[in-house]
Structure 1
């Protein structure tokens, strides 16, 4: 028995030892295998690095032997086996191709190379990534066909390959990727049909195929995707009818985007069975017939857009379906413009959704009057009724739409007066009432619309004077057009308040009197049309301040005197019409006057000279002819003597009057502006840290409120212990007393006193800027109030224009040119309306008026002035301050505004500056380096958020599909702005753009943006 037990124990020990031995061998094998596999990943990553041609942010510098590859930038590994599972190099500016060895990263689950500049074909080796769930190569330059081996990646959840140069067709094997939730191939060069196999993707939520060359009809199998929530095939070449059973095959459809296609036929009534529909978008197609009256059964609709089709029959009751839309209580956008709807607007419009934001009925054949009940739509921001057959008077009820921003009534048959109640629309930005039969005077109440960008009242029967309240609307920026009416009287001097206006058209009226000299303040004017009136007197010399004028028409008036020489000095003037006036004397020969085809001077019988092509008689000696005509030889000497004496006496008396007036004015201003040290100390709480709003090299800035409910002010207190502070105070005072401009920080007073301890005290008091500095908005810190805010494209553009306008004034409109010497974000302050004001003139310099604006010398020391990153390179080599130095700083500022990156950003180390870095991105990669918060905000990271992010991106894709505004803005507008910034910040001063040209170009970009937004305003309102 014992012998058996001993043998049994020996046998058991042997088995245990064998098991341990086998386990150890297995561990060693797995360790060796894992090590080998990890080395395989390493080699694959190194080969990936070798295929990178450009790496502007030096991302690949971390990919070296000094650290483990799992710690390289963009790499995430599985902790247990050190295999690479995430490769994320999104938005790094990388240029290169994709190595075939990417297929060796066999544990990879996420690959994100979006927003770079990869090119070449996608390798077939992608098919080896069997665990891949997310493949994002969005916005690159990949070409060729979609690799067929990608069909092996059956775990794919997201496949985002939009915005590339892919060719071929959509592969049928996509239908086998049953896990797909997001699939986007928009903006490529794909052709052929949409494969019916897409109908197998039962989990698909996002489908983006827009902007390709696809053709055929949408296969019926696609309509059977039971859980699809977003379907976008916008802007292709699809054609055919919408299937009649669409409502039954898409019962769970939420968002249906098919705009910008060639769908024909009628709207199937079965569509209403898609009861979950929220957004229905079929604009820019060829649909015919009527909208089903049962459309109101889709009571969850927020967007209903059938713009630019062929719907309607031009008959009564075409708009009967609006009655059923009363049930759509969350409807926000109703787009019906550009069809053939006839009949009257039903009274039921008053009962539409209280959430309705946009209502577009323009360009149809609707007649009758506007229902008074339209005033019930209290949330309406856009109302488009233009280009119809509407008649009668415009109801005062429109004045109840307090949120209305855009009102389109032009091109109808409205009569009667313009309702004064429109002046109640304080949010109104655009008002179109042209091409009607409005009569009577223009209501002065329109002056209450302080946000108007444009006002169009042309081609009506208006009479009376133009109210000064209208020409005092300083927000007007696009145009003011009252042409082809019967307005009369003189132009009020308040016209000078139109400082932002791009186009003014007062033609074909009965205006009289002189052209106001205050026109010289309208520094943004590009087109000025005053023809066919009764203006008289000389062409005002103040027009020479309007450096951006491209087109001037003063023809058919009673103007007299000589043609001013300054008109020939303009470098942007393209057309000048002075015909049929009483102008006389010699025609200038400079600038536009060299081109006979660019000017028109017919009907001025006393003109002479000019270029030969004008065929005018030569000018006689003017002095001789005057003496011969007016002075008899014997009377010449006494008459001339008397004339000279009277002229001298008049000048002397005028001098005394002006001097006395200035003295009184100076005394009055001194009394008004006296503020003591004690008042400053009290209103700042004893210069409390709670009221400290900024600090600089020479002092600190405090916020305070003057006594007796006085205004809020900003007080810049000089630190007189800082070397150069006193000199800075003197310099800033010298500059500020000589300047005054809308975009320069207004000084209230300067204080030179002593504090309570008897120490010298010096301070400058300014208007308080409630929105802080541009620095706070571009680079907010955690404790800043603006940290959750962002600047839109148009806000950034406005700020850029404001700063450029301020520099243009300093450089060219002051008696002595001034160089600011410290243009940077912290010296740009924003008021309550986000208007920019350039501040801090402590380093500013006056310039001699020698030689030219491009070679003038400083009267001050040539000590290096400015802030690091903004100082032009020539200053560092001993060059003196010049206006071209300011332009360099402005160029850097402009690049910073639109990229969100400081010039001292660590990304620009290693010999490459912000200017060179951005110049390399022009023109095709600008959107890769632009501040994303301009439009879309930050990206989402985790899987669920990423799916939502993809869906939001797809909806933005749709926005781009149907709205050319964004295309123009992103592909043209921003690129143009960046090009200006690069040009202004060129290393060579001679290559920098003239500041007047900068102002003109920025205004052109802005006006183009706004006009494009107007031309596609209906679709833009869908996005809003």
Structure 2
């Protein structure tokens, strides 16, 4: 070995070591105890401004421990300077003081997931060694600190989920080391600066849920090393240049969801061959989806939902053929576009890793391909709100991993396949609003994880299988309403101990309500109306203390109203109408404090209750006298005499009534219970102060009956007006034959003479304290209606109420009745904002109309009259549907059909049809969201959460589509009223679920 060589290497090593030690010595000398003390003082100042410390972290920041050993603090071992400050998720509340800028050797600051507030100090710009700054998930306000521009070594900057304002600064382009720039969920506005294109190392750009606008600068597409780009949730607009794919060959994640981008999807995107995530959801993209996306072999996430893609015609979904090459695709979102045509059979060859396939809310028709069973990883399949037909393929039962199944609001028919019971992982099933028939398959009982089961609005028959009724996993809701199910309710219903909503309404169930229902103690909503249930209301229902909404109406229930219903503290609505209940009404709880929240109509044996119910007093019987009377020696002769006396009295009464009718010269057959003098007195002599409205045939006055009687509304006919008498007779004929919760209740009719001997005719109605819908939608010099606007759910409830009234008139009366004048001024609101349809002066019995060979006169009000009436057509139920459609559009836009904005032959229907679906939020009445939704305890504040915004728009679009369909020019194209009622109820249920989820998210 060459010793001189070894010696030379040793000398070199010694010199190198000496130099390194000298460098460290100089480094240490450069950081005197003064700088270390500055670090300590800055930390103590930081501590002094913490006002909330739930985990008592600051208690460990004391003199007994060196500050380099304090929780969350790390120092450099050579010079003792603080380099890391990691205080994430400690629950801190307070402000960050400017002294943080004195800890000049900091390379990492992590204050994320706390509740710091105020502005982040500009002194952060003194931290020239800073590489990572995480202040996300706090409540910081103000602008992004401008002095951060001095931190040239900054690699990661995360300020997401705060209240930051201002614009994205142009100096961001100077931070050339930046890899991560994330500021989603703030209040930033303005454009994305083109200087951001200088960040050649940027991998993740997140600007979601802000108020940014303008075009995404083309300079961004020149970031060739960029691997992540996310600007979701903003208000950006403009085209994405077609050359984007040529300039981003290394791009892996490209998200621009929830913006206002327009134009077509650029075909050149496929040149970004490393793309794994492509998200263009919630924008204004139009045209065809490129059919070359299959070249993106690494694609795992593809989201185009809620745009204007497609033409509604055959061929729109041809791009799915190319996606079979994306063998690792996991998410495919095509929801809410204009895709037409049929589902191609190629979907059977999509990635076996596909777990989410959402193509609901489009215009797709045809069958579900049987090969769908090949998608073995599918966890969520959403095909709702299309025009799909045929039966559900048995192969659906092969999707063993399926958890969510949305097939609602299509035109499926046939039986629900028994194989659906193989899907043991299912948590949600939505098959509502179709034409399914046959029985509910008992195999559903195998779905032991099922939380939601929606089968309402079909043609299902038979009983509910015990296996299904006993699914104890059901927690959200079980809804089989509006079918033809029959039989008794299985006692297994008592196993639904976690269920929140049970809706069995509008079926043919019979028998008694099982006492086991009292075990469902989580029930918030219970709907059993429209069946044939009989017997007493079970005493066990007293255990349902969480009930907020209970509807037992339109059954054959008997016995007394249980007093325990008044003990339910949370009960907000109780409907017991149209049964055979009897006896005194309880006076506790909801019966005492909120009489407007209960409905008891159609129970003629009820008595007592609070004065607002206007019921006769109950007869008081003395038990001591009764016992003596029931003694055998007294009872038998007395009863015999009573029977004889009763028979004679009945005979005489019938004779006198018939005689009185024969002598009567009046044809109206009215009961005159209130005199003209009483009416004149209670209205102050028909004073202008009591005038609450006027119409074609008379005026309406407010009055209060004597002796603290109820407030009433009196419609006084102007008999000098031609047709007024006929209107009076017609309205009397209609109103005495109908009764419904959503029809204006008539108290009596008056046909008499006034003090001058002139004929006087009037109708006395129940007073509606909230006035007419007209005053709410179009207030004129009315303080009440200017300060109180109708919320979305109130408008939806009113729409449902009016549709239910029409369904009753068209379907449930002995002879179908056509209202002929559906408009806002004829929709009146009670104290609980329940809508009541009134003014039947133009109403027509179809039987009478059909027997009249003469052409009907033009009936209705301008703007609401169906086109066929103007061409000599006779009144019809579809004519009412047209008027209702116009009313529905007016309710949600607050625009009259005669608005000046509708010119050149374009009416309100055409105006809204053009806006559907992408621009619907621009034409609805914005005041419906001007305050928090709190009606009926169902809603909470509308949030800006991504999913809720999408679903909220879905609800509004669905309502508008109903209005457009109902007001179609051709009568044959209009929706049937029963379908209107079902669909509106479905929309309401969806809206309530949106708000409940939003509430849970805020709590979480």
The TM-score range, normalised by the shorter chain, is: 0.5 to 0.7
Distance 1:32 1:342, change over 3 A: closer
Question: 1:635 Cα deviation (Å)?
Answer: 5.1
Runs of 4+ in 1 over 6 A off after TM superposition: 26-30, 637-640, 965-968, 1007-1010, 1013-1016
Contact 2:172 2:195 in 1 (8 A): yes
Quick one: distance in 2 between partners of 1:381 and 1:141? 36
Question: Which residue in the other structure is 1:502 paired with?
Answer: 500
Quick one: distance in 1 between partners of 2:68 and 2:511? 80
Question: Which residue in the other structure is 1:565 paired with?
Answer: 563
Quick one: distance in 2 between partners of 1:555 and 1:358? 41
Which residue of 510, 513, 522 maps to 2:511? 513
Question: 1:189 Cα deviation (Å)?
Answer: 2.3
What SS does the corresponding residue of 1:607 show, helix, strand or coil? strand
Question: Which residue in the other structure is 1:174 paired with?
Answer: 172
Question: Which residue in the other structure is 2:457 paired with?
Answer: 459
**TM-score normalised by structure 2 residue count:** 0.60
Question: Which residue in the other structure is 1:587 paired with?
Answer: 585
Contact 2:951 2:994 in 1 (8 A): no
Question: 1:123 Cα deviation (Å)?
Answer: 2.8
Question: Which residue in the other structure is 1:620 paired with?
Answer: 619
Quick one: distance in 2 between partners of 1:351 and 1:1013? 37
Distance 1:433 1:146, change over 3 A: closer
Quick one: distance in 2 between partners of 1:81 and 1:130? 17
Quick one: distance in 2 between partners of 1:28 and 1:424? 74
Equivalent residue runs for 1:309-388 within 5 Å: 309-388=307-386
Quick one: distance in 1 between partners of 2:578 and 2:69? 79
Quick one: distance in 1 between partners of 2:115 and 2:412? 55
Equivalent residue runs for 1:98-137 within 5 Å: 98-137=96-135
Which residue of 189, 202, 211 maps to 1:191? 189
Distance 1:54 1:444, change over 3 A: closer
Question: Which residue in the other structure is 2:844 paired with?
Answer: none
Question: Which residue in the other structure is 2:633 paired with?
Answer: 634
Alignment length, in residue pairs? 639
Is 1:598 the equivalent of 2:565? no
**TM-score normalised by structure 1 residue count:** 0.59
Question: Which residue in the other structure is 2:473 paired with?
Answer: 475
Question: 1:625 Cα deviation (Å)?
Answer: 12
Equivalent residue runs for 1:758-797 within 5 Å: none
Question: Which residue in the other structure is 1:237 paired with?
Answer: 235
Which residue of 281, 292, 296 maps to 2:279? 281
Distance 1:202 1:345, change over 3 A: same
Deviation digits for residues 202-226 of structure 1, max 9, x if unmatched?
A: 1111211122221111101111111
Which residue of 491, 508, 516 maps to 1:493? 491
Quick one: distance in 2 between partners of 1:639 and 1:424? 70
Distance 1:471 1:965, change over 3 A: farther
Question: Which residue in the other structure is 1:297 paired with?
Answer: 295
Quick one: distance in 2 between partners of 1:413 and 1:29? 78
Question: 1:620 Cα deviation (Å)?
Answer: 0.3
Distance 1:32 1:186, change over 3 A: closer
Distance 1:193 1:527, change over 3 A: same
Question: Which residue in the other structure is 1:435 paired with?
Answer: 433
Distance 1:198 1:561, change over 3 A: same
Deviation digits for residues 405-460 of structure 1, max 9, x if unmatched?
A: 11111111111111111111111111111111111222222222222112111111
Contact 2:629 2:635 in 1 (8 A): no
Which range is displaced more, 541-550 or 187-196?
187-196
Question: Which residue in the other structure is 2:482 paired with?
Answer: 484
Question: 1:314 Cα deviation (Å)?
Answer: 0.7
Distance 1:334 1:1010, change over 3 A: farther
What SS does the corresponding residue of 2:321 show, helix, strand or coil? helix
Equivalent residue runs for 1:129-278 within 5 Å: 129-278=127-276
Deviation digits for residues 212-250 of structure 1, max 9, x if unmatched?
A: 221111101111111222211111111111211111122
Distance 1:453 1:51, change over 3 A: closer
What SS does the corresponding residue of 1:343 show, helix, strand or coil? coil
Question: Which residue in the other structure is 1:650 paired with?
Answer: none
Deviation digits for residues 512-532 of structure 1, max 9, x if unmatched?
A: 111111111111111111111
Question: 1:400 Cα deviation (Å)?
Answer: 1.4
Q: Which consecutive residues of structure 1, in runs of 5 or more, have no partner in the other structure?
A: 1-22, 641-958, 969-1006
Question: 1:185 Cα deviation (Å)?
Answer: 1.8
Distance 1:461 1:31, change over 3 A: closer
Contact 1:210 1:961 in 2 (8 A): no
Question: 1:566 Cα deviation (Å)?
Answer: 0.7
Contact 2:31 2:79 in 1 (8 A): no
Question: Which residue in the other structure is 1:746 paired with?
Answer: none
Equivalent residue runs for 1:86-105 within 5 Å: 86-105=84-103
Contact 2:333 2:359 in 1 (8 A): yes
Distance 1:217 1:452, change over 3 A: same
Question: 1:612 Cα deviation (Å)?
Answer: 0.6
Distance 1:625 1:493, change over 3 A: farther
Quick one: distance in 2 between partners of 1:46 and 1:463? 74
Question: Which residue in the other structure is 1:404 paired with?
Answer: 402
Contact 1:960 1:967 in 2 (8 A): no
CA RMSD of aligned residues (A): 3.2
Contact 1:965 1:1009 in 2 (8 A): no
Contact 2:316 2:341 in 1 (8 A): yes
What SS does the corresponding residue of 1:434 show, helix, strand or coil? coil
Equivalent residue runs for 1:623-1022 within 5 Å: 631=630, 634=633, 636=635, 962-964=946-948, 1011-1012=993-994
Distance 1:400 1:92, change over 3 A: closer
Question: 1:60 Cα deviation (Å)?
Answer: 3.5
Question: Which residue in the other structure is 1:60 paired with?
Answer: 58
What SS does the corresponding residue of 1:568 show, helix, strand or coil? helix
Question: 1:340 Cα deviation (Å)?
Answer: 0.8
Q: Which consecutive residues of structure 2, in runs of 5 or more, have no partner in the other structure?
A: 1-20, 640-942, 953-988
Distance 1:574 1:287, change over 3 A: same
Question: 1:147 Cα deviation (Å)?
Answer: 2.6
Distance 1:207 1:960, change over 3 A: farther
Question: 1:480 Cα deviation (Å)?
Answer: 1.3
What SS does the corresponding residue of 1:342 show, helix, strand or coil? coil
Distance 1:147 1:1015, change over 3 A: closer
Quick one: distance in 1 between partners of 2:625 and 2:392? 60
Quick one: distance in 1 between partners of 2:183 and 2:264? 29
Contact 1:462 1:485 in 2 (8 A): yes
Question: Which residue in the other structure is 1:81 paired with?
Answer: 79
Question: 1:965 Cα deviation (Å)?
Answer: 10
Quick one: distance in 1 between partners of 2:608 and 2:173? 79
Contact 1:579 1:601 in 2 (8 A): yes
Quick one: distance in 1 between partners of 2:220 and 2:501? 51
Quick one: distance in 2 between partners of 1:558 and 1:363? 40
Distance 1:111 1:966, change over 3 A: farther
Question: 1:966 Cα deviation (Å)?
Answer: 14
Question: Which residue in the other structure is 1:607 paired with?
Answer: 606
Deviation digits for residues 862-908 of structure 1, max 9, x if unmatched?
A: xxxxxxxxxxxxxxxxxxxxxxxxxxxxxxxxxxxxxxxxxxxxxxx
Question: Which residue in the other structure is 1:393 paired with?
Answer: 391
Question: 1:364 Cα deviation (Å)?
Answer: 0.8
Contact 1:84 1:105 in 2 (8 A): yes
Contact 2:27 2:79 in 1 (8 A): no
Quick one: distance in 1 between partners of 2:551 and 2:389? 34
